[in-house]
Amino acid sequence: MIMMDWLAKAMGLPDHNVSSMVAYGSKLAHSGVEKACLMGAVQYHPVGYDDNYSMRGHLLEKEIEADIEKGLTPFFVVATLGTIHCCSFDNLKELGEVCEKWGLWLHVDAAYAGSAFICPETRHLLAGIELVQSFNFNPHKWLQVQFDCSALWIKDRQKLDTVLHLDPIYLQHSKQDEIVDFRHWQIPLGRRFRSLKLWFVLRSFGVTGLQKWIRGTMDLAEYFADLITKSEHFELFRPRSMGLVCFRAKGSNDQNRALLKSLNEGREIHLIPAEIDDTYFLRLAICSTQTTQKDLDDVLNLMLRHLQKL
């Protein structure tokens, strides 16, 4: 990289100018948010969170005001409903009000937890959804749909269509005024037909069946969280959220890293870690239709055996 900089200087190439446009998301937002900003050549400023790991309106507005003072241009905010670290939920209503005040586009990333909104009792987490410009979740993560399937809604689709609309003669067709042409909604010209796989799931399970499935996984997660709470050797990092349980062995971060390495190398179970505020913890998500309470009992016993070997 240094050599490339030297060579650019020797050739008189211009310095790279970073865009003054700024996008925002929680410090717990998925890395894909920051990656999208890198691809779009805009700045990304992560925002802090409260004691419940939720990005709040006043925290966002503080960042916006500071950036405007610097001469920057805030334009885009990603609210996460179900963060990848611990399935926490940003305060959608507060963020929406801030975005409306400052004229920013508010997008919702509900990749995992969005499936749970099929159950009415979870929809309080959608408070403020009317202030959102776009909303996305992945039915393949928790709604029984095979990979890959992503559902995206745009409040005003013409804004997206206008930005990406190119109509050279070789792509024109006789039905273009009668159909929604998705080549204007995305980067590639073509797209896979994912509607059919979603249709089969909805027809096979029905809304009631999918609600039963979601509630069942959350009940199993609560059962596992209770096992952790009662254990002498483990503790919850935070209360169970949706179908995710965040926990750790009582001890140091290094001990938990060693435990995870031992478990995953044993290949009887696979866990993914996370780290928030210098606390390293493990995550267990209920994903299989075959999971039972006995399986979760076995998981706890398995972890105890590996922990004793450390």
Q: Which of the pair, 191 or 154, is modelled with greater confidence?
A: 154
Q: Which segment of 2-6, 285-289, 303-307 scores lowest on mean pLDDT?
A: 2-6
Which of 173, 196, 219 terminates a domain? The answer is 196
Q: Is 237 a residue whose pLDDT tops 90?
A: yes
* pLDDT score, position 222: 97
Phi and psi, residue 163, nearest 5°: -65, -40
**DSSP result, 74-97:** EEEEEEEBS-TTT--B--HHHHHH
Query: Does one domain contain both 81 and 135?
Result: yes
Residue 265: give its domain's CATH number: 3.90.1150.10
Which structural domain range is residue 158 located in?
2-196
The residue written with tokens 């928030």 in the block is: 276
User: Per-residue pLDDT averaged across 151-161, rounded?
Assistant: 83
User: Per-residue pLDDT averaged across 218-237, rounded?
Assistant: 97
Query: Does one domain contain both 145 and 224?
Result: no
Active site residue 30: yes
Catalytic hit among 30, 85, 107, 306:
30
Tokens of 52: 């419940």
Query: Does one domain contain both 168 and 255?
Result: no
Q: Which residues, in sequence order, are bridge partners of residue 151?
A: 137
Residue 280 in any domain: the answer is yes
pTM for the model: 0.87
What's the CA gap between 277 and 253, in Å, rounded? 12
* pLDDT score, position 210: 94
Q: What is the pLDDT of residues 26-77, one digit of tens each?
A: 999 999 999 989 888 899 999 999 999 999 999 999 999 999 999 999 999 9
